[in-house]
Amino acid sequence: MTATFLKRLGALAFASLFGLGPVVLFVGSAHASGGTAYKRTPYQTTRANAGTPNSDNVVKNSKGVVISYGNSAITYNAPPSTLAALGKALFLQNCASCHGSEADGVPANGTNGAFPNLVGLGPATIDFWVESGRMPAADPRSIEAPRRQPRLNHDQALAIAAWVNSLSPAFPSIPTVNLKSANVANGAALFALNCAACHTIEGDGDALAMGTYAPSLRHIPATQVAEAIRTGPGDMPRFTGNLSDYQVRDLVKFVTTEIQHPQNIGGFGLGGLGPVAEGFVGLALGVGILALFGFWIGERQ
């Protein structure tokens, strides 16, 4: 009885760290989100409570705006507001043609899909899309923008994020992951449960429904891993209260070490494609070469 009570008390305390914070901000942000140009349907995404400042290390500026928060695993930093002016100029140049000059998007029109409203999405979202080269989109009407060589550099991405965030400050801020004391085994277990279903256990990615796909994780920097997990870009689900910062740190460690530098102690990794590649090699190289030897050993008549 006592054990169960203590367990429940502990769970309540633990959950409150992650639960109450988002609940408060969720309630708050419902009023704080910027004007929406179109009606949100019940299953429209919101970014209300991802990677929120629910720890002790919240740093605010003189106006009470949160500029950084986090813990020993991940520090979240808002982009400097001084960059907002530059950000607005860059946005008008590179992004406004699709997302509108107020960054509030363009609604769906007939067969054309919507260009998303960026207001209230938080700086991490903006930073992820721009720094991974997906935005500005090469083909704005394709169902999924691929990772490309980024058109805008890190400072420019921060500037745009700063300006968009200034329209309606939201979270998560831009994460910096501290990989010291990360537990790669924990990361492996979390990856297998949460990520492998789309990205494959080797992290190579694969085709999903209707022309979308889960991208390969072989070349993604640590910050973008954390941003993607917290913000859930595109069709990727977001992981907010269901993964703590420590768990995200472990995942980032696993991705940047074992996924991106796999221990292929058995030889050539054959692309990590598993039995498909192995079957090709076994039949073409194995049986094929042996059949050629048989061709030499035997006669032709």
Residues between 212 and 271 with contacts to another protein, criterion CB under 8 A: 212-214, 232, 234-242, 254, 258, 262-270
CA distances, 144 to each of 3, 24, 206, 235 (Å): 50, 33, 13, 9
- Alpha-carbon distance of 217 to 205, in angstroms, equals 7
Closest to 215 in 3D by CA, of 274, 134, 292, 158? 134
- Alpha-carbon distance of 186 to 181, in angstroms, equals 12
> Based on CB atoms, which residue is closest to another protein, 92 or 290?
290
Amino acid, single-letter form, for residue 13: A
- Alpha-carbon distance of 235 to 240, in angstroms, equals 15
> Based on CB atoms, which residue is closest to another protein, 180 or 300?
300
Within positions 35 to 94, which residues make up the interface with another protein, using CB under 8 A? 42-50
- Alpha-carbon distance of 187 to 130, in angstroms, equals 26
**15 contacts another protein (rule: CB under 8 A):** yes
Q: Which stretch binds another protein (CB under 8 A): 66-74, 102-110, 199-207, 217-225?
A: 199-207
**102 contacts another protein (rule: CB under 8 A):** no
Q: Quick check: 69 and 53 in contact, CB under 8 A?
A: yes
- Alpha-carbon distance of 113 to 190, in angstroms, equals 34
| CB of 142 vs another protein, minimal distance in Å | 10
Phi, then psi, of 300 in degrees rounded to 5: -90, -20
| CB of 75 vs another protein, minimal distance in Å | 21
| CB of 87 vs another protein, minimal distance in Å | 25
| CB of 146 vs another protein, minimal distance in Å | 9
Among 58, 184, 221, 246, binds another protein (CB under 8 A): 184
Tokens 């501290």 belong to 178
Among 178, 194, 246, 260, binds another protein (CB under 8 A): 194
Does residue 136 have a cis peptide bond before it, meaning omega lies within 30 degrees of 0?
yes
**139 contacts another protein (rule: CB under 8 A):** no
**19 contacts another protein (rule: CB under 8 A):** yes
Amino acid, single-letter form, for residue 223: T
Within positions 268 to 287, which residues make up the interface with another protein, using CB under 8 A? 268-270, 272-276, 278-283, 285-287
| CB of 25 vs another protein, minimal distance in Å | 9
CA atoms within 13 A on the CB side of 74: 29
**140 contacts another protein (rule: CB under 8 A):** no
Residues 6+ apart with CB under 8 A from 53: 21, 66, 69, 76, 171
**298 contacts another protein (rule: CB under 8 A):** yes
Among 56, 111, 211, 261, binds another protein (CB under 8 A): 211
- Alpha-carbon distance of 278 to 77, in angstroms, equals 45
> Based on CB atoms, which residue is closest to another protein, 69 or 163?
69
**179 contacts another protein (rule: CB under 8 A):** no
Q: Which stretch binds another protein (CB under 8 A): 66-74, 100-108, 151-159, 190-198?
A: 190-198
